[in-house]
């Protein structure tokens, strides 16, 4: 994995552990020689993950919609800052530029990015690992909901392992590096669907 997209919040929660976590993720990626692709912002967890990577000498590619650049939230310290027209182009760029996806705590936008990465993997638009860093138990309910979708039958057996969830970053990165692509929906026949 040469580059990973990191999905995270632009907010700054009152609990400082979240900002510290984001900085640690950026630093760890840089120390492992893995470039960071992220949302291009300078605020909240986004800014912290970028700073962590930059401070450790890592490559940081920010991808930000033009409207947010105009709102003065763009991080101009990135190795490269790519300005796109909208959120759809942003997510397409994340997929094109990265070898996988890591989601750390965030809000609605972060969840949108996570589920799109999972959905696109399920369909066959990409065959990259999709990781979820469940630090502090933040995603416990989301993981339980994913299991519920599996149990009810809304997630096919071939796609039940797309979301790779771990509480520790090192273990998550190890599992992501060992990722083997599954059979996507586009590669299945009607009897398998």
Report domain extents, the chain. Answer: 3-177
pLDDT at 147: 98
pLDDT at 56: 98
pLDDT at 113: 97
Asked which of 59-63, 65-69, 97-101, 166-170 is least confident by mean pLDDT, the reply is 65-69
Cα–Cα distance, 74 to 67 (Å, whole number): 10
**Tens of pLDDT, residues 58-90:** 999 999 999 998 777 899 999 999 999 999 999
Largest CA-CA distance found in the chain, in angstroms, rounded? 52
Q: Spelled out in words, what is the top-level CATH class assigned to the domain 3-177? A: alpha beta
- Residue 50 in this model has a pLDDT that exceeds 90: yes
- Banded pLDDT at 193 (limits 50, 70, 90): confident
Distances (CA, A) of 160 to 3, 33, 51, 191: 24, 30, 34, 18
Strands 60-65 and 80-84: parallel
Query: What average pLDDT is seen over the chain?
Result: 96
Cα–Cα distance, 146 to 51 (Å, whole number): 32
pLDDT at 7: 98
Looking at residues 124-146, what average pLDDT do you find?
98
- Residue 9 in this model has a pLDDT that exceeds 90: yes
What pTM did the predictor assign? Answer: 0.95
Cα–Cα distance, 127 to 103 (Å, whole number): 17
């Amino acid at each position: 994995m040469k580059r990973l997209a990191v999905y995270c919040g632009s907010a700054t929660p009152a609990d400082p552990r979240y900002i510290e976590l984001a900085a640690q993720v950026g630093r760890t990626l840089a120390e492992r020689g893995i470039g960071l692709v992220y949302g291009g912002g300078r605020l909240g967890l986004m800014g912290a993950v970028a700073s962590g990577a930059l401070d450790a000498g890592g490559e940081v590619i920010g991808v930000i919609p033009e409207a947010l650049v105009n709102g003065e939230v763009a991080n101009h310290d990135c190795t490269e800052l790519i300005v796109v027209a909208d959120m759809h182009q942003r997510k397409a760029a994340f997929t094109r530029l990265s070898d996988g996806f890591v989601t750390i705590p965030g809000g609605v936008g972060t969840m949108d990015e996570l589920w799109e990465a999972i959905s696109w993997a399920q369909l066959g638009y990409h065959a990259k690992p999709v990781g979820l860093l469940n630090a502090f138990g933040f995603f416990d309910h989301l993981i339980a909901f994913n299991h519920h979708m599996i149990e009810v039958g809304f997630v096919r057996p071939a796609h039940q392992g797309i979301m790779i969830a771990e509480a520790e970053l090192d273990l998550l990165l190890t599992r992501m590096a060992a990722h083997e692509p599954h059979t996507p929906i586009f590669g299945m026949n009607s009897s398998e669907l």
